[in-house]
Structure 1
Amino acid sequence: MLMLHKILPFLLLPPGLSVVLVSLGLLLRRRMLAWAGVAMLLIASMPVVGNSLIGILEGPARRVPAASVAHADAIVVLGGMTMQLPGAPLGEWGEAADRFEAGIDLYREGKAPLLVFTGGRLPWRENFVPEGELLALRALQLDIPRASVLVTGIAGNTSDEAGAAAELLGPSKKIILVTSAFHMPRSILLFHRAGFSVVPCRVDYRVQPAERMTVLSFMPDPEALQQSFIALREIMGIVWYRVLSL
């Protein structure tokens, strides 16, 4: 099931859907279908489109200081911020490293007595260490007390993370949820479903405020295509889980 959740967005969103449309257009000799696929890819590759889609999910680009965040029973830091490779026993940081730093800052500000990392690991990576265990070791190196650092069970996606956190912490807890700003709307939805009261802590913003629009904003760019894909996948996930809640 998890594998299907990973594959479907690729087939239903650019660039995968663009490839499907172009292929069908060529096979069926339907030029309009092929050109629709090309147009979709070009539009999704424009920075003005990718940034706009991410911006819708992120909301106002303003990072809230740790001191201003409300108190809670625990700080839950979602995974997806490291890569595991030889020579890096605690992993190398990826784009979302702000999640870890924000969790540490919140704990040091006394916002919650527990710092929880999710045990992220995909089923086809059984030889990998669950990411939460590596992050917990990093937290201990920063003198966070061992008794305050917890790691959930194995989780393959955000829904699993919410369920694993509920099993670890118990029902009806108030948590500070730390994740990337674009990922927060779907995360709040899933953690509410798991029974938590959520105080959001948005980090890892991808869109800079008041960035001036130029001709380059309309030129195809691979990073913009990635932004579009990420945003549309999040929107698809939100719609999917809302439908399931009906």
Structure 2
Amino acid sequence: MYDLLKVLVANLMMPLPVSLGLGLPGLLLFGLATAVGRLSDSSGMRLMEGIRLWRQRPELPLIVSGASRDPDIAPVAQGYADAAAELGVPEDRLVVLDTPTDTGREASAVHDVLGEGSQVVVVTSASHMPRAIHHFQQAGLLPVSVGL
């Protein structure tokens, strides 16, 4: 799977949304359920899009989020981080939020990392985006949506 992701990420070069200013502090990938030991197809798409955007602004942190409610299964965020590192994102650019269990808690955790009024690109499914944007606004952040 990683070889396919490397090819796809290298070939997707659409720019970040024009609305993003220079003050953008981070890119966020939302978690999604995984099969044991591997990212789901939807998670892989989010990962590809997040890395594609991060490559345009590699000075930004790539924030990966997603807990596991099963203590025997690694958090989704860790799967994202492992795959992102394998695909060339330096570990010092990764921020792993592996404890929030829902969108509201993820928004609060991102606020704790980036601070009040920070702009953040949110990469999640189009169906989840309205709820995610609401939670991030409620948390005092300025989310920019990238729905898949």
TM, length-normalised to structure 2: 0.80
List gaps (5 residues or longer) in structure 2: 1-12
Distance in 2 between residues matched to 1:92 and 1:100, nearest whole Å: 9
- The 3 A distance-change label for structure 1 pair 96 and 190 is same
Q: Does 1:135 align with 2:88?
A: no
Cross-structure match for 2:139: 194
- Structural RMSD (CA): 1.9
- Per-residue deviation, residues 136-156 of structure 1 (Å, max 9, x unmatched): 011111111111111114011
Cross-structure match for 1:44: none
Structure 1 runs of 4+ aligned residues shifted over 4 Å read none
Tell which structure's C-alpha radius of gyration is larger: 1
- Per-residue deviation, residues 61-96 of structure 1 (Å, max 9, x unmatched): xxxx74041252100110005222xxx3xx242334
- Per-residue deviation, residues 26-82 of structure 1 (Å, max 9, x unmatched): xxxxxxxxxxxxxxxxxxxxxxxxxxxxxxxxxxxxxxx740412521001100052
Do 2:59 and 2:93's aligned partners in 1 also have CA atoms closer than 8 Å? Answer: no
Cross-structure match for 2:61: 114
Number of matched residues?
132
Distance in 1 between residues matched to 2:45 and 2:98, nearest whole Å: 22
Distance in 1 between residues matched to 2:137 and 2:25, nearest whole Å: 15
List gaps (5 residues or longer) in structure 1: 1-64, 204-246
TM, length-normalised to structure 1: 0.50
- The 3 A distance-change label for structure 1 pair 134 and 78 is same
Cross-structure match for 2:118: 173
Pairing 1:12-161 to 2, within 5 Å after superposition: 66-69=14-17, 70-71=20-21, 72-84=24-36, 88=37, 91-110=38-57, 113-122=60-69, 125-161=70-106
Distance in 1 between residues matched to 2:112 and 2:57, nearest whole Å: 24
- Per-residue deviation, residues 97-156 of structure 1 (Å, max 9, x unmatched): 31111100000112761100013222xx12221111121011111111111111114011
- The 3 A distance-change label for structure 1 pair 110 and 81 is farther
Distance in 2 between residues matched to 1:138 and 1:189, nearest whole Å: 28
Aligned-residue identity in percent? 26
Q: Secondary structure at the match of 1:155?
A: coil
